[in-house]
Structure 1
Amino acid sequence: MTYQTIKLEYFDEVALLKFTRTSVMNSLSIEMVKEVLDAFTAIRENSAIGALVISGEGKAFCTGAELNPEFFMGIDGKSPAESLDYHMQYYFNQWIEQLENFPIPVIIAMNGVAAGAGVGIALAGDITLAAEEAYFILTFAPKLGLIPDMGTSWFLPRLIGTARTKAITLLGEKVSATQAEQWGLIWKTIPKNELLDEALKIAKKLASLPPHIAQHIRNTYSSANENTLTQQLNYEKDLQCQLIQTPAFMEGIMAFTERREPVFKR
């Protein structure tokens, strides 16, 4: 399918989704979110694809929602709040929830600034890489009197703690890619001209993992945030007992005994 606001390409077993609204710094429109969700469906339905890379074209990764009349006047007879409620529930929030439950690993290649809701998107992958000149900035509170959304309020304190999260949210100060790496907000910084190649290289490696292991890893660490140690130990035990019966584990054992790399089937 031909898209107007994004580009979807395939490199063997890796899907590359890029934001292409460069004239507006890859800000989010309803059309763009719909196209992203459609692309997610196409990727999930393609059994040959084992990893997804998300990046942007131009100077920005994503600068959050486009502040057009839909956001402060409402549409289709709805008030601004009613319109926003509908679009967040059925479109914007679906983006983050689908990534959290994506059946394959997701790599974010942050080519430039991630602002506003773009911060949530940048943190929603399994591995986030950033170009050396990229940065994060939360403009919700100091510029608009709003709170962070698209999962930002969930991701940030878990990654960098409450003190740093509140400070950068209230002050609206930039967090450079280098600082983000030092804080543990992202995996690593990469020279911009090497960013996409590195992301695709990592994606190819992740595509060779056993099917659905990325989802199991996400669920395991998410449950650890809520469980007691005893509960988490039992969670690990129960899931491990399931996974040890899978073809992936048997292939891993055979590869180990035969001194070769495992070849997992999707």
Structure 2
Amino acid sequence: MLELDIADDGVATLALNRPEALNALSGPLIDALLSALADIQANPDARVLLLTGRGRAFCAGADLRDPMMGLDLPPTERGRRFLQSADQGVHALARALAHLGKPRVAAVNGPAVGGGASLALAADIVLVARSAYFQQPFTAQLGLVPDMGGSWQLMRRLGPARAMGATLLGERISGEQAEAWGLVWQCVADEALADAARSIARRLAASAPRALAELPGVMAAALHNDFDAQLDCERDAQARLVQTEDFMEAVSAFKDKRPPAFSGR
């Protein structure tokens, strides 16, 4: 159902492994993901998360056959069930990814649909195979709205015009189109995806952990701060980072013309 491997290079690979269900998110899979993310967050040897899928899909979104959907319940009870399953399930998962405190890389090996797209877009760097695609079927096909942070991600990554078009129409966004629109970092050949994602994850794992933890907050603040407030945000983060051993190690490495060896201190 889920594979977790924490390698000596600091890359924690988390692979959805329900290929028979296109890696759709069931209650047990969500629970397994939450447990694995807690382990990665607590493990100092796991410096970077690399998220991918096994089989021909990345993730087909929520498993509509799972009891968490409450399809057999009366409407009011179904609504109550969803409130509970969202808070304890898919939205708990979105929050766990958002607050992991470590870089997140997604290797989208196949279709990323609905909540599966939200899962991929929760990563800091998203690589997508050329044959893969993203799709938002919530409104057009299911009479719903995006969840799991999908609306938040799409509006920020695509802007209002494309985000609304993607959600209203529910059309597929190919890997190449996703790259052209700025939805992802890079679209690569299918056979190159695993190595390309691994290479980026290794580069991040060799970087300064505390700087990597500070960066998302600084960049996110720039979306709502005015210029002066953002200067203050940058200043405060920088003041914390120049006190670290990693910064002094970077200075020494620069002087010695060698790669720095960051410790996270």
TM-score between the two structures when normalised by the length of structure 1: 0.94
Match of 1:40 among 37, 42, 55: 37
Q: For residue 59 of structure 2, what is the amino acid of its counterpart?
A: C
Secondary structure of the 1:238 match is helix
Moved more, 99-108 or 178-187: 99-108
Percent identity over the alignment? Answer: 37
- In the other structure, the counterpart of 1:173 is 171
Is 1:67 the equivalent of 2:64? yes
Q: Supply the distance in 1 between the matched residues of 2:68 and 2:258 (Cα, whole angstroms).
A: 57
Secondary structure of the 1:62 match is coil
Secondary structure of the 1:253 match is helix
- In the other structure, the counterpart of 2:229 is 231
The question of whether the paired residues in 2 share the 8 Å contact of 1:130 and 1:177 is answered with: yes
- In the other structure, the counterpart of 2:255 is 257
- In the other structure, the counterpart of 2:82 is 84
- In the other structure, the counterpart of 1:6 is 2
Q: For residue 138 of structure 1, what is the amino acid of its counterpart?
A: Q
The question of whether the paired residues in 2 share the 8 Å contact of 1:63 and 1:118 is answered with: yes
**How far is 1:212 from its partner?**
3.0
The question of whether the paired residues in 2 share the 8 Å contact of 1:142 and 1:170 is answered with: yes
The question of whether the paired residues in 2 share the 8 Å contact of 1:74 and 1:81 is answered with: no
- In the other structure, the counterpart of 2:115 is 117
Q: Supply the distance in 2 between the matched residues of 1:57 and 1:37 (Cα, whole angstroms).
A: 18
Q: Supply the distance in 1 between the matched residues of 2:263 and 2:213 (Cα, whole angstroms).
A: 16
Secondary structure of the 1:73 match is coil
Q: Supply the distance in 2 between the matched residues of 1:48 and 1:74 (Cα, whole angstroms).
A: 44
The question of whether the paired residues in 1 share the 8 Å contact of 2:12 and 2:46 is answered with: yes
Q: Supply the distance in 2 between the matched residues of 1:237 and 1:70 (Cα, whole angstroms).
A: 45
Runs of 4+ in 1 over 6 A off after TM superposition: none
Q: Supply the distance in 2 between the matched residues of 1:70 and 1:127 (Cα, whole angstroms).
A: 30
The question of whether the paired residues in 2 share the 8 Å contact of 1:29 and 1:66 is answered with: yes
Q: For residue 8 of structure 1, what is the amino acid of its counterpart?
A: L
**How far is 1:40 from its partner?**
0.8
Count of residue pairs brought into register by the alignment: 260
**How far is 1:57 from its partner?**
0.6
Q: Supply the distance in 1 between the matched residues of 2:101 and 2:68 (Cα, whole angstroms).
A: 33
Q: Supply the distance in 2 between the matched residues of 1:41 and 1:117 (Cα, whole angstroms).
A: 20
Is 1:24 the equivalent of 2:21? yes
Q: For residue 59 of structure 1, what is the amino acid of its counterpart?
A: R
Q: Deviations over 1:186-232 (max 9, x none)?
A: 01011112211211111111001112322211101111111111111
RMSD (Å), alpha carbons: 1.4
The question of whether the paired residues in 1 share the 8 Å contact of 2:68 and 2:85 is answered with: no
- In the other structure, the counterpart of 2:96 is 98
TM-score between the two structures when normalised by the length of structure 2: 0.94
The question of whether the paired residues in 2 share the 8 Å contact of 1:100 and 1:218 is answered with: no
Q: For residue 165 of structure 2, what is the amino acid of its counterpart?
A: A
- In the other structure, the counterpart of 2:51 is 54
- In the other structure, the counterpart of 2:202 is 204
Q: Supply the distance in 2 between the matched residues of 1:59 and 1:114 (Cα, whole angstroms).
A: 11
The question of whether the paired residues in 2 share the 8 Å contact of 1:117 and 1:150 is answered with: yes
Moved more, 10-19 or 63-72: 63-72
**How far is 1:74 from its partner?**
6.1
1:126-165 superposed matches below 5 A: 126-165=124-163
Q: Supply the distance in 1 between the matched residues of 2:37 and 2:210 (Cα, whole angstroms).
A: 16
Task: Give the unaligned 5+ runs of structure 1.
Answer: none
Q: Supply the distance in 1 between the matched residues of 2:94 and 2:184 (Cα, whole angstroms).
A: 17
Task: Give the unaligned 5+ runs of structure 2.
Answer: none
Q: Supply the distance in 2 between the matched residues of 1:45 and 1:102 (Cα, whole angstroms).
A: 9
Q: For residue 223 of structure 1, what is the amino acid of its counterpart?
A: A
